[in-house]
Structure 1
Amino acid sequence: MNTWADHVIWWQLHPISFVGAEPAALSPGSEPVHRLGHLQGWLDYLVELGCNGLALGPIFASETHGYDTVDHYRIDPRLGEEDDLVRLIDDCHRRGVKVLLDGVFNHVGRGFAPFQDVLARRRESPYASWFRLDFDADGPDGFGYTDFEGHRHLVALNHAEPQVADYVTAVARHWLDRGADGWRLDAAYAVPVEFWHAVTSQVRRTHPHAWFLGEVIHGDYARFVTEGGLDSVTQYELWKAIWSSLNDRNFFELSWALDRHEDFAENYRPLTFVGNHDVTRLASKLDDERHLAHALAVLFTVSGLPSVYAGDEQGFRGVKYERADGDAEIRPAFPGTPAALAPYGWPVYRLHQDLIGLRRRHPWLVRARVKVVHLDNTAFAYHLVNPDGGPGLVVVLNVSDHPFTLPSVSGSARRRLLGSADSGAPEDVGPHGWAVLEVSA
């Protein structure tokens, strides 16, 4: 476990869309457009929010959205060149901000040079073993190949081929040498854990402090850590339970998910989130905008490593559609500076600041244990037990139309640290209100 990651709160963005780049690759021979510098105007904003990690989406040469990589050693010309990335990383590090790169190593775009060689030379290509091919199958290319989840333009790599593991290891080391602090591994759930173990163990021989996050939507989360050598995986179960419980007024689902979360947290620090580049934004997902604060209260109090998707801290809206260009609403272009943002999003930004500030003042929350102290359909309270033995916190969530008073809990409530503007005792929470209370050890 890389302990530096325990202190990071990530701000995640999708660079190609964030900077307003073209949706498709530039024509061959075009001069790079140095857009990565656009992100430097947002670094102080990131820090003022309370984050200290910049999680970048794909930045390597690709055909469209970045997840169809064609060259892992070249910055996408729509974003700039290698020097632009190194400058961005240096500027982040001067502010104490870690940088996470997005590695798409499950599949590649059809323009990936080794696959182009296979298209040209078929069985004679030295790269034929890099892909899962069927030269006896009919198809527009004269043979068949395994793609990623039915997307023919995404060619799946053969992770049983040692040369593929060597290639991914070399790519990871190349960019860690240039200052990156770690890797998000896209579609990690589709790759055998043995492959990840081979890569991470080799990379750590030269970069022992590198941090690896796996995108795992479903499956055995812990196995990717215990057997795959990753440091963390994305906590999609908790993400779903947060918004679904609030919409359905069914906190039993959230309670169940937190029990599962506790099991995961015994082995590693899960990456927690309420939004990312692949899902409908929280402000659009919730049926009642009054419950946005409830979702954020969970995100920033439970154990794990919180991540904020750029724009969610301003209450951005956007729906993810299952169609071509279905990500457009959730991946908008951002203005050149934060000052150009619309004024109505800043109260949500300040709410994020308050909750992140609470987490910073209670750094033990990354290791906190959860004990449910009240549960019914519309009211939920959980005790965050301080593993160091000091005062703990109790989070109270109420989504009913009536006030709720928390019954007595182990440890007397000292004071309300954050919450909705309710009158009365700290334990009194108004309709659709919430509170974070400090309790004695």
Structure 2
Amino acid sequence: MERQIDPRRKARSTMAEPSWVQHAVWWHVYPLGFTGAEKEALPASAPGEHRLRKLIPWLDYVLELGASGIALGPVFASETHGYDTTDYFRIDPRLGDDTDFDDLIREAHDRGIRVLLDGVFNHAGRSFQPFRDALVQGPSAPTSPWFRISWPDQGAGTGPDIAEPDYEDFEGHHHLVAFNHDEPQVADFVTGVMKHWLGRGADGWRLDAAYAVPSAFWSTVLAEVRTDYPEAYFVGEYIHGDYAAEVRNGTLDSGTQYELWKAAWSSLNDANYYELAAALERHNTFLDTFAPLTFVGNHDVTRISSQLKDPELLPHALVVLFTVGGTPSVYYGDEQAFRGVKEDRTGGDDDVRPVFPGSPSDLSPAGQHIYRLHEQLIGVRRRHAWLHMARTRVLSLSNEHLVYEAAEAGDGASIVVALNQAAQSAELEVPPSASILLAGNGSLTRNNRLAVPARGWAILSAGD
């Protein structure tokens, strides 16, 4: 008998993301750091905390910023930093419990705020019970096929006195046990985890280290999940490679745009807008397949305010983030010009995963001007929702000057962006239709020229 295709699955084959994503702007939070949780898992006898509720007083702040969703870092039981998950069906006791999670979801949804979860499905922590069972019971353990374990010769035995077998891990981190994604039980397990938390109100998943997982695994899992949750959103973490092919073959909705992130800050540090122009051209090719998740900061990289050699150029990176195609994400604290450097050492992420105060009123006023700039730029984007899938076209380019158009598909609306990172003012040519200043500090002169002050920028309407 021929297998019937679920109509919702067939619709997804066109790579159409959920319609609500067109208007999404994420505020990305690393909950363990944000709430000041302990660095390691609590003892089994210790009472759990209820820190996840500390996010609730920040929900109105998210709305005032102009964002429409919270992208949470790991919230499930883990050994240390959250990416070494030990129980995928349990909220980390350092953060709370199911009730705390449910209350956060309810409060967010009451405000129209979506919630994205972080799923670590490439690997698990060593204390993950199915892995412990495999080590104790040996090759005959029901969960032994979940992992790529090099068992000793038959008859060597199992138990606490037998040397631990070798196993595949994640990028040399032996405390992170890699799953065997060829094993159907693993696909069933991940499917169950996703459905469980979507059923509790989550709106989608960020798929950690998606680049290390076979695309066929994602397509198998997501086909099953979408039968029950067709409006869920799935974005994979991709750092390098053929982003479009990975997203397409895995049937994901999106992938992280690290190429644009790198170009956004290094083109400013090196006075080389040619790098950014090349990245924008490649960004256009991604948009033929998917709307990338764009960002200038996240939990794994040095903060943009520390990354830039000249802090006066921070607005330029933000202007790019909010005027090109994609789904923008703002890492918590970046909207306040927080600083922090990621270091390659134990605890080297702590500086970029800080504790936040109890409420927005406790923030230092020093970052208010950058917060207001985020508000302004997000406001421009929300008034031009077509920017989600906009293509860019470079109109004028030099090492220190860049003018580009971001346009709606077809003959629709467009805006023009002018950036001047030079220490001197510049007059840049813009199209005749670019006649209304939407944001920035440029001024139109005669003959289609735009005067942009030193280290200045402008966004112009060009056909709304």
Please indicate, yes or no, whether the TM-score normalized by the shorter chain is above 0.5.
yes
Alignment equivalent of 2:376, drawn from 343, 351, 354? 354
Q: Which residue of 2 aligns with 1:437?
A: 460
1:98 aligns with 2:114: yes
Alignment equivalent of 1:298, drawn from 294, 300, 320? 320
Aligned residue runs from structure 1 range 3-402, under 5 A: 3-136=19-152, 141-387=163-409, 389-402=411-424
CA distance in 1, matches of 2:55, 2:194: 22
Q: 1:386, CA displacement in angstroms?
A: 2.8
Q: Which residue of 1 aligns with 2:7?
A: none
SS for the counterpart of 2:429 is coil
- Contact 2:435/2:444, CA 8 A, preserved across alignment: no
Q: 1:417, CA displacement in angstroms?
A: 1.2
Amino acid at match of 2:21: A
SS for the counterpart of 2:42 is coil
Alignment equivalent of 1:416, drawn from 413, 432, 437? 437
Amino acid at match of 1:440: G
Amino acid at match of 1:433: G
CA distance in 1, matches of 2:150, 2:200: 38
5+ residue gaps, structure 1, are none
CA distance in 2, matches of 1:242, 1:307: 14
Amino acid at match of 2:39: P
CA distance in 2, matches of 1:119, 1:327: 31
SS for the counterpart of 1:325 is coil
CA distance in 2, matches of 1:140, 1:191: 31
- Contact 1:422/1:433, CA 8 A, preserved across alignment: no
CA distance in 2, matches of 1:154, 1:332: 24
- Contact 1:422/1:430, CA 8 A, preserved across alignment: no
**Structure 1 stretch displaced more, 93-102 or 25-34:** 25-34
Q: 1:388, CA displacement in angstroms?
A: 6.1
- Contact 1:61/1:70, CA 8 A, preserved across alignment: yes
- Contact 2:442/2:451, CA 8 A, preserved across alignment: no
CA distance in 2, matches of 1:343, 1:412: 39
SS for the counterpart of 1:400 is coil
Identity across matched positions, percent: 54
Q: 1:390, CA displacement in angstroms?
A: 4.3
Q: 1:408, CA displacement in angstroms?
A: 4.1
Amino acid at match of 1:386: E
Q: Per the alignment, do residues 148 and 140 of structure 1 end up closer, same or farther by CA in structure 2, a change over 3 Å counting?
A: farther
SS for the counterpart of 2:177 is strand
CA distance in 2, matches of 1:141, 1:188: 32
SS for the counterpart of 2:250 is coil
Aligned residues: 440
CA distance in 2, matches of 1:258, 1:344: 32
Give the alignment's TM-score, normalised by structure 2: 0.92
Amino acid at match of 1:87: D
Amino acid at match of 1:135: W
1:373-427, Cα deviation, whole Å (9 max, x unpaired): 0011110010112336444211011111222111243x43212111136696771
Q: Per the alignment, do residues 140 and 106 of structure 1 end up closer, same or farther by CA in structure 2, a change over 3 Å counting?
A: farther
- Contact 1:414/1:440, CA 8 A, preserved across alignment: no
CA distance in 2, matches of 1:43, 1:408: 39
CA distance in 1, matches of 2:434, 2:45: 66
CA distance in 2, matches of 1:7, 1:185: 21
Q: Per the alignment, do residues 102 and 146 of structure 1 end up closer, same or farther by CA in structure 2, a change over 3 Å counting?
A: same
5+ residue gaps, structure 2, are 1-16
Q: Per the alignment, do residues 344 and 164 of structure 1 end up closer, same or farther by CA in structure 2, a change over 3 Å counting?
A: same
- Contact 1:393/1:438, CA 8 A, preserved across alignment: yes
CA distance in 2, matches of 1:337, 1:17: 15
Q: 1:336, CA displacement in angstroms?
A: 0.6
CA distance in 2, matches of 1:229, 1:221: 12
Q: 1:31, CA displacement in angstroms?
A: 1.7
SS for the counterpart of 1:413 is coil
SS for the counterpart of 2:358 is coil
CA distance in 1, matches of 2:55, 2:441: 34
CA distance in 2, matches of 1:390, 1:404: 29
**Structure 1 stretch displaced more, 383-392 or 11-20:** 383-392
1:47-84, Cα deviation, whole Å (9 max, x unpaired): 10000110000000000010000000000000110111
Q: 1:246, CA displacement in angstroms?
A: 0.5
Amino acid at match of 1:33: E
Amino acid at match of 1:136: P
SS for the counterpart of 1:155 is strand
CA distance in 1, matches of 2:333, 2:340: 10
Q: Which residue of 1 aligns with 2:5?
A: none
- Contact 2:24/2:68, CA 8 A, preserved across alignment: yes
Task: Give me the CA root mean square deviation.
Answer: 1.7
- Contact 2:403/2:430, CA 8 A, preserved across alignment: no
